[in-house]
């Protein structure tokens, strides 16, 4: 992962710990994984070199085929 992406993820986790990280502008983020996802998303938007999003496997509980 690129340094720029690492920095953005680190900033997102720091904001989470301070209670200032929000998702969609209003809702507070409570989970560490969600904070990391937000940091990676921001890095992608800014053009940083970030690994692709992992696709859900059919055996995972949140996969659309399981509904």
Per-residue pLDDT of the chain (67 residues; tens, 9 = 90+): 688 999 999 999 999 999 999 988 788 999 999 999 999 999 999 988 888 877 767 777 776 776 6
Q: What is the pLDDT of residue 28?
A: 92
Q: In the prediction, which pLDDT does 16 show?
A: 93
CA 29, distance to chain mean position in Å, is 11
Q: What is the pLDDT of residue 2?
A: 84
Rounded Cα gap, residues 56 and 63, in angstroms: 6
Query: For residue 66, what pLDDT is reported?
Result: 66
Name the domain count of the chain.
1
Q: Name the β-bridge partners of 24.
A: none
Range of the structural domain that residue 30 is part of: 1-48
Please give the model's pTM, rounded to 2 decimal places. 0.71
The position carrying tokens 């995972």 is 60
């Amino acid at each position: 992962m690129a340094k720029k992406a690492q920095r953005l993820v680190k900033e997102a986790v720091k904001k989470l710990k301070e209670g200032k990280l929000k998702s969609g502008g209003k809702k507070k983020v409570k989970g560490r994984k969600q904070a990391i996802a937000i940091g990676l998303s921001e890095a992608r938007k800014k053009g940083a070199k970030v690994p692709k999003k992992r696709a859900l496997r059919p055996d995972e509980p949140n996969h659309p085929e399981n509904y």
